[in-house]
Amino acid sequence: MTSAILVLPGDNIGPEIIDEAVKVLRAVIVKFGLDVEIKFADLGGAAFDKAGEPCPSDTMALAHQSRAILLGAVGGPKWDGLERELRPEQGLLKLRSQLGLFANLRPAIMYPQLCTTSSLKPEIVSGLDILIIRELVGGIYFGEPRGIRVLENGEREGFNTYKYSESEIRRIGRVAFEAALIRGRRLCSVDKSNVLEATALWRETITELASEYPAVELAHMYVDNAAMQLIKEPKQFDVVVTGNMFGDILSDAAAMLTGSIGMLPSASLDKNGRGLYEPCHGSAPDIVGTQKANPLATILSVAMMMRYSFHRTDIADTIELAVNEVLDNGLRTPDIMSDSMTMVTTREIGDAVTARI
């Protein structure tokens, strides 16, 4: 695999946050003498506007040639009226699926400096450190058959298929057990096995896998209870593993525990360590061009890239330390603003982190 990094700014605030993350990326490349090349391409609505499709073949070809991909965000009302296959989100789903990026890691970490920005009481969230591992290329997001059909009575019916094979479950299960081993050694598998067969098989398969990881304490939870427990007592969780749709929902909830989804990075990995790194938040069309977007989730995604695709813990630590120092200094975008802090722009946050690299 080459050492190229492909940058996909995407839509709305995507280019603004990517500008700052790329500044940080270039700074670590210089400081640590990394031999990598940065390339840029379009994805999402930006790609549709230029090429008529959300994930054009040249973007896909560059992605296949890269070790890591850094993505801003895709989507926005401008493209909502398009046919489903042409929508920006489909570009992202195609990229995830064609690159086999099955393991989505979404850490929800409470930065002590932001403890009062969470909507929950500080004692509930202080010290929070959860890793949600979401299966990303299967489940109901990709299950066939799917569609909208006309019934005999003339009424339309929408349908999707929720399915997981044992090998798909084992593959994501292993990532989760391995992650738990190097963290707090506790894994909670989330399913709806009281109602859905596909997730009953999920529970059975994860339970079988547990015999290979005796050092990890495995628990199971239904997704509705997990949603409640995340809000009630989030610190009971260490690593959470779940399917595509439940992971989408629970990771947004977990993000809000930390004060702002603007702080949450993510990594989506294939079996060889190629990864797509992106903030967990969306493209925020309401604040595009205002310099109000928080670039830290994207900057922290660069740290994850260094850790998982380049195996450079030292560089990841440097970036995370720089982010911590910027928060210590009281610089805040509106989403993480609190009393006596200094409100600054997207660019000022990016510059401040870069200066500390």
- To the nearest whole angstrom, how small is the minimum distance from the Cβ of residue 281 to ligand IPM? 9
The DSSP output letter for 342 is E
Q: Which does 92 bind (CB under 5 to 8 A by kind): ligand IPM, Mg ion, none?
A: ligand IPM
Which CB atom, from 67 or from 134, has the smaller least distance to Mg ion? 134
Copy the structure tokens of residue 186.
């506790």
The residue with tokens 């989100």 is 89
The 3-state DSSP class for residue 9 equals: strand
146 to 83, 141, 284, 293: CA distances (angstroms) = 15, 10, 29, 36
- To the nearest whole angstrom, how small is the minimum distance from the Cβ of residue 85 to ligand IPM? 13
Which CB atom, from 73 or from 299, has the smaller least distance to Mg ion? 73
Which CB atom, from 66 or from 251, has the smaller least distance to Mg ion? 251
Q: Which of 42, 238, 248, 335 binds Mg ion (CB under 5 A)?
A: 248
Active-site entry in 94, 192, 238, 277: 192
Known catalytic residue at 308: no
Q: Which of 20, 238, 248, 320 binds ligand IPM (CB under 6 A)?
A: 248
- To the nearest whole angstrom, how small is the minimum distance from the Cβ of residue 89 to Mg ion? 10
CA distance 199 to 203: 6
Which residue number places its CB atom closest to ligand IPM? 89
Q: Which of 28, 63, 92, 176 binds ligand IPM (CB under 6 A)?
A: 92
Copy the structure tokens of residue 198.
């596909």
**Cβ atoms within 10 A of the Cβ of 291, count?**
16
- To the nearest whole angstrom, how small is the minimum distance from the Cβ of residue 35 to ligand IPM? 30
Q: Does 335 bind ligand IPM (CB under 6 A)?
A: no
Q: Bridge partners of 218?
A: 187
Known catalytic residue at 351: no
Active-site entry in 224, 314, 317, 328: 224
Known catalytic residue at 224: yes
Q: Does 89 bind ligand IPM (CB under 6 A)?
A: yes
Q: Does 168 bind Mg ion (CB under 5 A)?
A: no
- Give start and end residues of each alpha helix (H) in 99-213: 122-125, 166-181, 197-209
Active-site entry in 11, 248, 277, 292: 248
- To the nearest whole angstrom, how small is the minimum distance from the Cβ of residue 37 to ligand IPM? 27
Give the residue from 161, 169, 173, 220 showing the smallest Cα distance to 194.
220
Strands (DSSP E) contained in the chain are 4-10, 37-40, 68-73, 103-109, 129-135, 147-150, 156-159, 186-191, 217-222, 239-242, 265-269, 275-279, 331-332, 342-343
Which CB atom, from 42 or from 248, has the smaller least distance to ligand IPM? 248
What region, left, alpha or beta, does residue 273 occupy, with left being phi > 0 and alpha being psi -120 to 50 degrees? left
Give the residue from 264, 236, 238 showing the smallest Cα distance to 251.
264
Which CB atom, from 248 or from 335, has the smaller least distance to Mg ion? 248
User: Contact positions toward ligand IPM, by CB under 6 A?
Assistant: 75, 89, 92-93, 248
Per CB under 5 A, residues contacting Mg ion are 248
Active site residues: 141, 192, 224, 248, 252
